Structure 1
Amino acid sequence: MEYKDTLLMPKTEFPMRGNLPNREPEIQTMWDELDIYSKVQERTKDRPLYVLHDGPPYANGDIHIGHALNKILKDFIVRFKSMNGFCAPYVPGWDTHGLPIETALTKNKKVNRKEMSVAEFRKLCEEYAWEQLEGQREQFKRLGVRGDWDNPYVTLKPEYEAQQIKVFGEMAKKGYIYKGLKPVYWSPSSESALAEAEIEYKDKRSPSIYVGFKVVDGKGVLDEQTNIVIWTTTPWTIPANLGISVHPDFDYSVVEVNEDKYVVASDLLDSVKKEIGWENVNIVKKLKGFELENLKVKHPLYDRESLIMTGDHVTTEAGTGCVHTAPGHGEDDFIIGNKYGLGVLCPVDEKGYMTAEAPGFEGLFYDEANKPITEKLQEVGALLHLSFITHSYPHDWRTKKPTIFRATAQWFASIKDFRDQLLKEVEATQWVPAWGETRLYNMVRDRGDWCISRQRAWGVPIPVFYGENGDPIITDETIEHVSKLFREHGSNIWFEKEAKDLLPEGFAHSSSPNGLFTKETDIMDVWFDSGSSHQSVLEEREDLVRPADLYLEGSDQYRGWFNSSLSTSVAVTGKAPYKGVLSHGFVLDGEGRKMSKSVGNVVIPAKVMKQLGGDILRLWVASVDYQSDVRISDNILKQVAEVYRKIRNTYRFLLGNLADFNPEEHTVSYDKLREVDQYMLIKLNKLIGKVKNSYDSYDFMAIYHDVHNYCTIDLSSFYLDFAKDVLYIEAADNLERRSIQTVLFEALHALTKLMAPILPHTADEVWTHIPNVDRESVQLTDMPEEQQFANSAEMMAKWNSFMNLRDDVLKALEIARNEKVIGKSLTAHVTLYVNEEANQLLTSIDESLTQLFIVSGFNIGGSLEDAPSNAIKFDDVAIVVSKADGETCERCWTVTRTVGAVTEHPTLCERCATVVANHYA
């Protein structure tokens, strides 16, 4: 007889190697054939609704690692909620309008816009957007993200645009929409206005000049020919200067330098002297800023006067305390200029070139005008100092080129009119991390009115008509009619038809007695597009609801989607569009650097999935503290892959040792389990509770560590290690063996379900190998419930104490192994010298201690005081490790004197001989 054939070794077809790059697509094909999303929704349709509303990525290019982080985090939450008592639909979305697609067509696709109408160009934009969307959709699906991929929301869809028009109309009806001439961020490279959310700051080298404006009307306060000194880093705005602002409460010094007089803020005098190089400076007198109000100075370049004004926006952080004011090129300048009735001068066109309103510099690009303007100031004796500085400067986040402030007629949403309600809704929202509340609160508190118009072609038109007298027309009737047109035909009809064909039949208005109308040609800011999704998606679709339970995006969306969504929703409904907001950081390389193609440190999701698999990428997401910036590299992914291997091996061991286990026939009731099995079942249920709480609090890193520790420490290093002696050696129906299998079955089910949101491919692969499972997918089951046991506290205390004692035994065995006293632990005999408490603990354990310690012999030698000098001493125990006495059993490898006790099986121990005789004879 081959004794090895009598061992009940693990049996499973679940492979040790994941081979995820090849196996995952097969599993996804199975999901598609099952229509798993629909099945999950059908199964959970009568449950409370939980809506995570997807912030739409932009449909251009392949997805990057930040996209992967975002979508995977969302999938964790949605999958968990659908397995934990909720109906959790997930409708993915895409943002499809805006400059990047226009640029892709004109630069990359070499489309000549001048050869076609706006409507024709827009159709090409739409086709391109759909192409990009299709590519991204497949990449998101490859990540294992489950959702309504066949019916996503897309900002270019007619039904979306129709609802967006209603949002605009409702805001206009409440008086929140207006058209006005104001300085706004302007991108010469895009030839369009920008919102604050479209601005990013990068370093720029700029000229730094100090200029003297001579007083021409000092009103008895200042001598004429005294110079008011200003400082600016934008010499090109000097032609637009209409005034100088001072702070009414600051002290100002009139100083004499080389027989010339200058005025600067007293607190800045030292820094100005140092910068300009003044020597022998005499302070003639001091005065308050308000004393300078309404004095006049001569413009250094033109034959006109500039007015001295007072304003609280003036600071002493830099410069001279006398602020060059050009109402056409700055928000503060515009406000104070409006207060003093200066008017607006903006001598720069939409492409950034100086106009005829800047005599002498017409036709120069604004940045190129800096030098000739500075030279002219030098020529007329007004330039006091020129140097260059590198400073943080606003750039167009799409073109990456500098922006300017430029006064133009734009459409605005008036934030100030409902700011207080916005702030209340920020306070009413649950923020994770908590600092998100402060961040958005401060943004809303400090933000100006929102410029919502763009001078581009690819976007949703601003639905405004103009009468013969130029007055804008926005009525309930026109909004409703345009909305219906867009729902039926899409927004391109706005550019295909004349104004009269877009108005309701028979429409009349007092501003057009002859019935002649024109239409607005600007489009809406893309943030208005995506910010309207609470109406265009949550209200539009029957399977969703407003407000959503959660918005989850990167931390850059505090100024973006979180902000624009809040603004439009509060304006229209009075409430925030979300109950909670969760944000994540950015993905950096392994050294904490920003990813860059030029540096060569970009991690591409598709490449990771091709090499390692989607579940490895998902497990990486679970392993990081995503609420801060996170790191990824080949080495980091290798570490994650090693953790995956341990989890997978745990699944394989559990499956292999349950091949002959039928839960309906073989499950042992809790009260009949051995104590060690009860202890492991209690630990499993505590893990269930912890993991579910971690999912609810979005703490996926805790799940990663808790499950990993449970698999490697609680199971692999303890329970599964000693359980082999029972699972392999004893007869199939041995009560101890069935008890262990009962625990293993519960652990397998629980671990598969608990990890299903994070490792969906692996979880479903495991599920298909579990005996006696009649479900098509683990996704169609619920999370395990945490069971409570009457003796939990007592059992945990007892066995935690034993585990501490066992750790000391394992350390002693390791020391003895290193000293060549023993080989493997089964060749050892362990003698313990313990205190009374430990003695009571050990004698109260009914299980085989030799089995639990994985040794061949064990005894208690006496108290701590009795320990011999060669004992290995710890705080509460002294241990002597020696070689076990006897021979090695051929079947179980235990060293025992009972080998040969049964003559029919001379190489077996008495236990193995009995099992073989009773079951294999």
Structure 2
Amino acid sequence: DRSALNPSGSGENALLRDVSLPAARRRAACRSSGGSVSSTPAAESRQDSQYRDTVLLPRSNFPAQLPGRLQPETEVETQQKCGFSELYSWQRQRKAKQEFCLHDGPPYANGDPHVGHALNKILKDITNRFYVMRGCKVHYVPGWDCHGLPIELKALSEVKGAENLSPMEIRQRAREFAERAIEKQKSAFIRWGVMADWANCYRTFDPKYEANQLRVFYKMYDKGYIYQDYKPVFWSPSSKTALAEAELEYNEQHVSRSVYMKFPVLKSPPKLTSVIDGSAPASVLVWTTQPWTVPSNQAVCYMPDSEYAIVKCTTTGEHFILAADRVESTAAVLDTQFEVMSTCKGVDLADGSCAHPTIPGRISPLLPANHVTMTKGTGLVHTAPAHGMEDYSVASHHQLPTDCLVDEGGFFTEAAGPELKNKNVLEEGNEAVIQMLQAAGSLLKEEKFVHSYPYDWRTKKPMIIRASKQWFVNTASVKATAQEVLKKVKVIPTSAANRMLEMLDRRTFWCISRQRCWGVPIPVFYQKNTGECLINSETVTDVIKIVEQQGTDAWWTLPIEQLLSKEAVAKAGGHDVLDYVKGQDVLDIWFDSGTSWACVLEGAEQKADTYLEGKDQLGGWFQSSLLTSVAARKKAPYKTLVVHGFTLGEKGEKMSKSIGNVVDPDVVINGGEDHTKDPPYGADVLRWWVAESNVFTEVLIGPVVLNAARDDINKLRNTLRFMLGNMAGFNPETDAIPPSEMYIVDQYMLHLLQDYGSKVTEAYKEYDYSKVVRLLQAFCSRNLSNFYFSIIKDRLYCEEEKDPKRRSCQTVLAEALDVVVRSFAPILPHLAEEVFQHLPYKKGKGVFRTGWINVSSAWKKPGIEEAIEGACAMRDSFLGSISGKNALEYEVIIVIEPGLLFELMEALQAEETSSVSQLNEIMMASQTTLLSELPKETPADAIIKGTFLINLEGGYIREDSSYKVIALPVTKAKCPRCRRYTSDSSSTLCPRCLKVMAGKGST
């Protein structure tokens, strides 16, 4: 029924009104008209045209680009105009049903802001801004990790004679250094547009923070999770302190001086007495990469279940015991041959003993151990309990001595003997031990061995393992609960959850004491004579009260009588406060930051919705936060963990000053000294780079990446400028057209907008900001620029200003502009606010104070897809047939047999032939004719055939319809106003333009 469509184009076909279920088959609705199809010529400036001023061209002061310094300057101006600094407090004061808490993992206060900071802080800000717009009350308190050796070292590097400073002088200089770093970083974060409570940040050296930390410490101690013990730990001779595993870096190219040595058999294992008959000397063959540990040897370990061989050396006639699997490879290394005399199981070595290779009279028993491997060495392991975690376990089980012969600086002590005393174990001490082995006749071979070895991540120097008295968290008793709790946490990406579970599984204890003075003291007192430690609820409560008021400086400045009460000493069975001394250790900074949940998070739950940090925190802050929270209260401090990668140069290489690929965020924003080399991009380019990157892998940055980001934003600006320019004279409150009265293609765009809005929202919820960028770019370029803008230009420019047909697409443009700007606002807050300032109509108090994307579910009309996408399929056929030519120079005939597709096209064009119908607008021709039969005498080579599958109501209605398209050169003249070929002569206007000029265009 051709009369079903209102001739003015504001009606809706009954068929389309009834269709509500989604089409199963989606076609690409947004076809590019291609470079060959020119835009409506009326948009082109023609100085000699008398109708130029009658065409409604876009008008806007919004710039297409902000070149040079204009970009950063405009951003700063926007921040001031739009109240960026007040946004956090504004949203905290409003009434909100839901709170969203993103707990800030504290960056380290030891240097200038870098791109790693930018990646992390901008990701957090995108998240927070999204939730603010969603109506949540966001809790985000930025913080800084302020203690620890790197700050201490940097602060002291500025001082001559630093080794003579008192603890309080060191602490004062370290605090000042950290404060300066915090101010630098804070200024940068604010400039990047990061919304936060900048007036109330947390710093781990704040007295209240330190007091809370000590409360968690004592709670864990009281529950038995914290204990003091003498055992081997990772020790940094260059820093003179114990370190936790998270503070190590592994050098894959470390070179050790490995040795093969023999331990003469003193007592033959009973089961091997008949084989080792004493006719030739027998020794066990041992290999180590750390000869300096040999003076501390207390045993030789074997694997009970493995096969061992007694071999005869063909060169010397000596007998050796070693793993059967290692016979050939060891003989090759020693440049000899071994004849296997006999084999036995490891258990057969039980109850045997050897002579120590360098210390006469010391016996080293043969002992079973499951840590012995057969992959390298001899299958027999030299065991020095003071210098190995597994060695220590063996010693504990068999009550062997665990004396340490190495001091805090990595030098042999007096107990090591006059030959070794005061020698550095990693240098001349190592050489001395090798010489002692040589002199004793125990050394069989020395060779260089390249392997992975732990280094101090701060000083970049090798570690050792050294036994000392330290404080530990017994992670073995916490980790099972921690793993169960972690399994209930949402982890993005999911692969990170397994990595963290594995790390927890490997962690047996956590050394939390450090031998420095820039940190939170472990609140323990020691009895002067016995060394026994004093810590109980009374002593800790007293210390916490003082710390809360004066900070931890009080531990160093106050006399012990003010820190330790007589009552507490008496309760512990002591007599005099002066019988005790203050402990000198401070807490590991991972304990500092790991207890931030107790100090920063609000409410009884003290649980954040999200922790968002780099992947290094799987073994760092994520883990220390989890362990302290589970130990103190049996629950995780977070509901979701978001884990991002590291920043690298754009070729995937690490950033370094020597390569010259370090990217400074300040230079990115404001430009370098030479703007031709380092142009000013502004903060939004930095933010776009973060959002568009796949942050769950490594994130690349460099000039190519930044230029591409700037180009992407400029393309987006052009799309926004078109929409803003066509809003002139339009007020949505008074001029908007209801969807039911819109052109069908306009309704279709609202349908696409609704779909876009829901997909973008879901992507934000999943922290998938690169998907947000992809959706945004696809919608703006394909759906808006290439498709919708190209077909509505004639309606926008050439119809009468207030014509409902024009208001119809203006209504859509206003909605699209609003949805698009809100969709990228969390990513590009400066651009979003700039757009809102250029709106010709008022839009409340800016983007962030007026909520999230507002799309109506009524916009979702899947049936409309079939009509528009069917027309688009025919348009593609038409445009393809005239490739390289102007579509306006053609009229198009569409032939469809009677059926559903024909009815859909009738909804777009009620008349048989029209130059002003909705169908003709989509076709972009000067005239479209819709027929059910092919006109007679149509040349066969002029016909383009195609099919379109209609799939409605979930497949209930399916129809594969064929169509034919014929493109014919126009017969009419070009209208001097709209420049379509619809006039009777080139000097007269077409009927549509005549109506508009006569003021009848809206009838």
TM-score w.r.t. structure 2 length? 0.87
Partner in structure 1 of residue 993 of structure 2: 912
Matched, 1:61 2:123: no
Number of corresponding residues? 902
Instruction: Kindly state the Cα deviation for residue 857 of structure 1 after the two structures are TM-superposed.
Output: 3.0
Partners of 2:897 and 2:413 in 1: how far apart?
A: 95
Distance 1:879 1:570, change over 3 A: same
Partners of 2:377 and 2:554 in 1: how far apart?
A: 52
Partners of 1:710 and 1:630 in 2: how far apart?
A: 25
**1:864–1:878 CA contact under 8 A, matched in 2:** no
Instruction: Kindly state the Cα deviation for residue 514 of structure 1 after the two structures are TM-superposed.
Output: 2.7
Question: What are structure 2's unaligned runs of at least 5 residues?
Answer: 1-48, 671-679, 910-916, 948-961
Question: What are structure 1's unaligned runs of at least 5 residues?
Answer: 901-905
Larger mean CA deviation between 568-577 and 77-86 belongs to: 77-86
Matched, 1:512 2:570: no
Partners of 2:613 and 2:84 in 1: how far apart?
A: 31
**1:867–1:878 CA contact under 8 A, matched in 2:** no
Matched, 1:751 2:820: yes
Distance 1:375 1:745, change over 3 A: same
Partner in structure 1 of residue 803 of structure 2: 734
Partners of 1:145 and 1:868 in 2: how far apart?
A: 65
Distance 1:16 1:495, change over 3 A: same
Instruction: Kindly state the Cα deviation for residue 591 of structure 1 after the two structures are TM-superposed.
Output: 1.5
Matched, 1:868 2:972: no
Partners of 1:149 and 1:112 in 2: how far apart?
A: 37
Partners of 2:653 and 2:695 in 1: how far apart?
A: 16
Partner in structure 2 of residue 502 of structure 1: 563
Partners of 2:326 and 2:896 in 1: how far apart?
A: 78
Instruction: Kindly state the Cα deviation for residue 545 of structure 1 after the two structures are TM-superposed.
Output: 5.6
Q: Where in structure 2 are the equivalents of 1:274-673 lying within 5 Å?
A: 274-279=332-337, 281-303=338-360, 304-359=362-417, 360-368=419-427, 369-468=429-528, 469-504=530-565, 506-509=567-570, 510-516=572-578, 517-539=580-602, 546-610=606-670, 611-673=680-742
**1:206–1:388 CA contact under 8 A, matched in 2:** yes
Partners of 1:864 and 1:422 in 2: how far apart?
A: 78
Partner in structure 1 of residue 141 of structure 2: 91
Instruction: Kindly state the Cα deviation for residue 506 of structure 1 after the two structures are TM-superposed.
Output: 4.5
Instruction: Kindly state the Cα deviation for residue 775 of structure 1 after the two structures are TM-superposed.
Output: 2.2
Q: Secondary structure at the match of 1:128?
A: helix
Distance 1:116 1:632, change over 3 A: closer
Partners of 1:686 and 1:391 in 2: how far apart?
A: 55
Partners of 1:324 and 1:115 in 2: how far apart?
A: 41
Partner in structure 1 of residue 76 of structure 2: 25
**1:471–1:511 CA contact under 8 A, matched in 2:** no
Match of 1:154 among 182, 188, 203: 203
Matched, 1:843 2:906: yes
**1:646–1:711 CA contact under 8 A, matched in 2:** no
Partners of 2:122 and 2:707 in 1: how far apart?
A: 19
CA displacement 1:576-618 (0-9 Å, x = unmatched) = 1111111011112221112222111222221212221111111
CA displacement 1:551-584 (0-9 Å, x = unmatched) = 1100110100000000111111111111111101
Match of 1:168 among 210, 217, 240: 217
Partners of 2:64 and 2:636 in 1: how far apart?
A: 49
Instruction: Kindly state the Cα deviation for residue 226 of structure 1 after the two structures are TM-superposed.
Output: 1.2
Q: What amino acid maps onto 2:127 in structure 1?
A: I
Q: Secondary structure at the match of 2:858?
A: coil
Instruction: Kindly state the Cα deviation for residue 831 of structure 1 after the two structures are TM-superposed.
Output: 4.1
Partners of 1:481 and 1:879 in 2: how far apart?
A: 91
Partners of 1:910 and 1:785 in 2: how far apart?
A: 39
Partners of 1:189 and 1:71 in 2: how far apart?
A: 33
Partners of 2:286 and 2:341 in 1: how far apart?
A: 19
Q: Secondary structure at the match of 1:470?
A: coil
Partners of 1:772 and 1:583 in 2: how far apart?
A: 42
Q: What amino acid maps onto 1:12 in structure 2?
A: S
CA displacement 1:73-105 (0-9 Å, x = unmatched) = 111111111111321121111001111111112
Q: What amino acid maps onto 2:923 in structure 1?
A: F
Q: What amino acid maps onto 2:626 in structure 1?
A: L
Distance 1:554 1:727, change over 3 A: same
Match of 2:747 among 678, 686, 689: 678
Larger mean CA deviation between 24-33 and 79-88 belongs to: 24-33
Instruction: Kindly state the Cα deviation for residue 196 of structure 1 after the two structures are TM-superposed.
Output: 0.6
Distance 1:434 1:193, change over 3 A: same
Partners of 1:268 and 1:736 in 2: how far apart?
A: 88
Instruction: Kindly state the Cα deviation for residue 883 of structure 1 after the two structures are TM-superposed.
Output: 3.5
Partners of 2:545 and 2:78 in 1: how far apart?
A: 43
TM-score w.r.t. structure 1 length? 0.94
Partners of 1:504 and 1:863 in 2: how far apart?
A: 106
Larger mean CA deviation between 501-510 and 414-423 belongs to: 501-510
Matched, 1:226 2:275: no
Distance 1:825 1:111, change over 3 A: farther
Q: What amino acid maps onto 1:175 in structure 2?
A: G
Larger mean CA deviation between 318-327 and 841-850 belongs to: 841-850
Q: Secondary structure at the match of 2:881?
A: helix
Partner in structure 2 of residue 903 of structure 1: none
Matched, 1:808 2:877: yes
Instruction: Kindly state the Cα deviation for residue 840 of structure 1 after the two structures are TM-superposed.
Output: 4.7
Partners of 1:274 and 1:864 in 2: how far apart?
A: 93
Partners of 2:897 and 2:656 in 1: how far apart?
A: 62
Partners of 2:267 and 2:723 in 1: how far apart?
A: 93
Instruction: Kindly state the Cα deviation for residue 547 of structure 1 after the two structures are TM-superposed.
Output: 0.9
Partners of 2:163 and 2:238 in 1: how far apart?
A: 17
Matched, 1:132 2:181: yes
Instruction: Kindly state the Cα deviation for residue 757 of structure 1 after the two structures are TM-superposed.
Output: 0.6
Q: Secondary structure at the match of 1:779?
A: coil
Larger mean CA deviation between 529-538 and 6-15 belongs to: 6-15
Partners of 2:768 and 2:897 in 1: how far apart?
A: 42
Instruction: Kindly state the Cα deviation for residue 919 of structure 1 after the two structures are TM-superposed.
Output: 7.7
Between the aligned residues of both structures, percent identity stands at 38
Q: What amino acid maps onto 1:91 in structure 2?
A: V
Partner in structure 1 of residue 232 of structure 2: 183
Matched, 1:829 2:887: no
Q: Secondary structure at the match of 2:305?
A: coil
Q: What amino acid maps onto 2:142 in structure 1?
A: P
Partner in structure 1 of residue 952 of structure 2: none
**2:891–2:969 CA contact under 8 A, matched in 1:** yes
Q: Secondary structure at the match of 1:51?
A: strand
Distance 1:545 1:60, change over 3 A: farther
Distance 1:899 1:465, change over 3 A: farther
Partners of 1:683 and 1:292 in 2: how far apart?
A: 78
Partner in structure 1 of residue 96 of structure 2: 46
**2:226–2:474 CA contact under 8 A, matched in 1:** yes
Q: What amino acid maps onto 2:53 in structure 1?
A: D
Distance 1:33 1:174, change over 3 A: closer
CA displacement 1:275-324 (0-9 Å, x = unmatched) = 22222x21111111122123111111111111111011111121111011
Instruction: Kindly state the Cα deviation for residue 633 of structure 1 after the two structures are TM-superposed.
Output: 2.1
Partners of 2:516 and 2:940 in 1: how far apart?
A: 89
Q: Secondary structure at the match of 1:328?
A: helix
Partners of 1:620 and 1:826 in 2: how far apart?
A: 41
